[in-house]
């Protein structure tokens, strides 16, 4: 049997285009001789729709989409993902894989409805109450499962307990899995290894179709694959791209040897492609076209400008240089060099006249008080106001340039440099930002090397350096990783060799700046634990 893996990019609730994509992919695969086309989890409506699932109209449109696909693809056997109502008149929903062909429908309901920090499916779906069943097609017996049905249900990653253990008694010839696996830079390898363990345990060929594309802050990387029954990856689709590829099931039982067809890119390549896709889909799916960025001559704004130009095209990116009396000449020249290298439009708006007017207005009230963080934040907020004004006047969406290290410890100005409609690198630590810049420059100097190599500074007062306020980024990021990603206590982090005073100071900064993080734009998620996605901490707390 020839099975087509249809790895497509959907938009939540955009039923017309989603349905059209599915129909076109099905006909294209049929023309190439496929016997079955498989799409990803909740492909009809897009993943994950959250409270949209509570609207009757949303579910009705899902059903209408299924009917349209069934009518337009009557002669094409296919499996699509969709929410289905338990029974007529009931409100209970199942996350299901729906097989359709020549008027025949067979529904396979997800059994493991998991609780994930990104979304709790238990708020929306019921676990399958059905007895296990197979899809019989073309002389083969297919076990059809959805999403977390293939995750490890136990504590042993080697033994791999999951729904296939239950289906094994039915002796399927092939396992077909519909997935919507959320990306982080560890996930492609983890996903492959997890699926491989299941295959090796039962010696069933396995086909997994994953979603690709970004939905607000969540990114789906694709990487759909087909395993032979010896755990070898026989076929793999690209990461971060749409694609339809046909697998012959006969090739999945030949015990092929040699290298896997799946090549997992390095960490910085994955992060780069994920961020580009995240920006592109955010703009495309929201109906936005042009971005605006405050380009300071520093590393973070340089990265965001590059990513935006890559995602949207240089013609759709505009940057503002907003120098103050504290900006260095090399910051301006570095910013100009990058803008010209990328071919983006740039304009310069000096903020000193605006700053002087604010200072004059406030002087009667601030008289006798020294220059401090108040005046520093004033500069950042002036820049934010100017950027937002340009965005309003010309229809540009402001991209935020804060990195994860800054967001962690509150090293940013609320309503100033923390403004923006989307936080592009808010899940990228400063040390990772340096790695990403070097990755971008691996073949050509795109981001000026001077920008990468110079001492980082906010340039809000004379001779300011980030290290005046923060530990060295290599140390800071090491502590932050252990605290944020690993949830380790101060004592545990100190036991790893970090200085106690530095650890305690860092954790205090993280904890007291939660109020800032809960007011920022959506952050593109590329790590296993991103702010705004998984890490939910009360603003008012003394833990």
pLDDT mean by block of 10 residues, the chain; 543 residues: 98 98 98 97 97 95 98 97 79 92 96 83 90 93 95 78 90 97 96 93 95 97 96 95 96 75 94 98 97 96 98 98 84 94 97 95 94 93 97 97 96 94 97 98 96 83 81 96 96 97 96 92 95 80 72
Q: Domains plus CATH for the chain?
A: 2-263 (3.60.110.10), 271-466 (3.40.50.620)
Q: What is the pLDDT of residue 159?
A: 76
DSSP string, 41-91: TTTTT-S--GGGGG-HHHHHHHHHHHHHHHHHTTTS-EEEEEEEESSTT--
Q: What is the pLDDT of residue 457?
A: 79
The secondary structure of 93-117, three-state, reads EEEEEEEEECCEEEEEECCCCCEEC
Burial of 55-69, coded b for 16+ CB within 10 Å and e otherwise, reads: eeebbebbeebbebb
Q: What is the pTM of this model?
A: 0.95
Q: What is the pLDDT of residue 543?
A: 67
Q: What is the DSSP letter of 12?
A: T
Q: What is the pLDDT of residue 465?
A: 81
For Cα atoms 453, 457, 459, give the angle at the middle one, nearest 5 degrees.
135
Q: What is the pLDDT of residue 104?
A: 95
CA distance 466 to 470: 6
Q: What is the pLDDT of residue 455?
A: 85
């Amino acid at each position: 049997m020839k099975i087509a893996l249809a790895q497509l990019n959907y938009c939540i609730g955009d039923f017309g285009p989603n349905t059209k994509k599915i129909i076109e992919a099905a006909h294209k695969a049929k023309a190439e001789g496929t016997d079955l086309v498989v799409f990803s989890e909740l492909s009809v409506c897009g993943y994950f729709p959250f409270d949209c699932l509570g609207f009757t109209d949303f579910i009705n449109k899902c059903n209408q989409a299924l009917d349209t696909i069934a009518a337009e693809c009557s002669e094409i056997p296919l499996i699509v993902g969709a929410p289905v109502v338990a029974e007529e008149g009931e409100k209970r929903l199942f996350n299901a894989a729906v097989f359709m062909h020549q008027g025949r429908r067979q529904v396979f309901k997800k059994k493991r409805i998991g609780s994930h920090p990104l979304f709790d499916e238990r708020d929306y779906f019921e676990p399958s109450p059905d007895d296990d069943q197979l899809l019989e097609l073309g002389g083969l017996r297919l076990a059809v499962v959805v999403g977390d049905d293939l995750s490890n249900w136990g504590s042993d990653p080697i033994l791999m307990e999951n729904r296939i253990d239950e289906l094994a008694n039915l002796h399927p010839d092939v396992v077909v899995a519909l997935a919507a696996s959320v990306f982080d830079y560890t996930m492609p390898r983890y996903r492959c290894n997890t699926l491989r363990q299941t295959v090796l345990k039962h010696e069933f060929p396995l086909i997994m179709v994953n979603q690709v594309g970004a939905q607000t802050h969540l990114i789906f990387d694709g990487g759909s694959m087909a395993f032979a029954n010896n755990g070898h990856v026989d076929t793999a689709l690209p990461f971060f791209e749409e694609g339809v590829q046909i697998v012959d099931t006969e090739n999945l039982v030949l015990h092929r040897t040699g290298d896997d067809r799946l090549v997992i890119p390095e960490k910085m390549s994955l992060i780069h492609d994920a961020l580009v896709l995240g920006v592109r889909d955010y703009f495309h799916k929201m109906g936005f076209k042009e971005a605006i960025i405050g380009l300071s001559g520093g590393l973070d704004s340089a990265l965001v400008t590059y990513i935006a130009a890559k995602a949207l095209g240089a013609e759709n990116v505009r940057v503002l240089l907003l120098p103050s009396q504290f900006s260095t000449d090399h910051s301006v020249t570095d910013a100009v060099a990058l803008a010209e290298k990328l071919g983006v439009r740039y304009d310069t708006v000096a903020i000193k006249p605006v700053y002087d007017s604010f200072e004059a207005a406030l002087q009667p009230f601030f008289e006798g008080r020294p220059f401090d963080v108040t005046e520093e934040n004033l500069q950042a907020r002036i820049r934010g106001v100017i950027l937002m004004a340009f965005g309003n006047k010309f229809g540009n969406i402001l991209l935020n340039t804060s990195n994860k290290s800054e967001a962690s410890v509150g090293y940013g100005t609320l309503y100033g440099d923390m403004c923006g409609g989307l936080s592009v690198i808010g899940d990228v630590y400063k040390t990772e930002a340096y790695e990403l810049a070097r990755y971008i420059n691996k073949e050509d100097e795109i981001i000026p090397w001077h920008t990468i190599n110079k001492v980082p500074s906010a340039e809000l007062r004379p001779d300011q350096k980030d290290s005046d306020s923060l530990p060295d980024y290599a140390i800071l990021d090491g502590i932050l990783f252990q605290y944020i990603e690993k949830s380790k206590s101060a004592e545990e982090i100190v036991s790893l060799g970090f200085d106690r005073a530095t650890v305690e100071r860092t954790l205090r900064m993280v904890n007291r700046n939660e109020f800032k993080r809960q007011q920022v734009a959506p952050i593109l998620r590329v790590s296993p634990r991103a702010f705004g996605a998984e890490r939910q901490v009360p603003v008012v707390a003394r833990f």
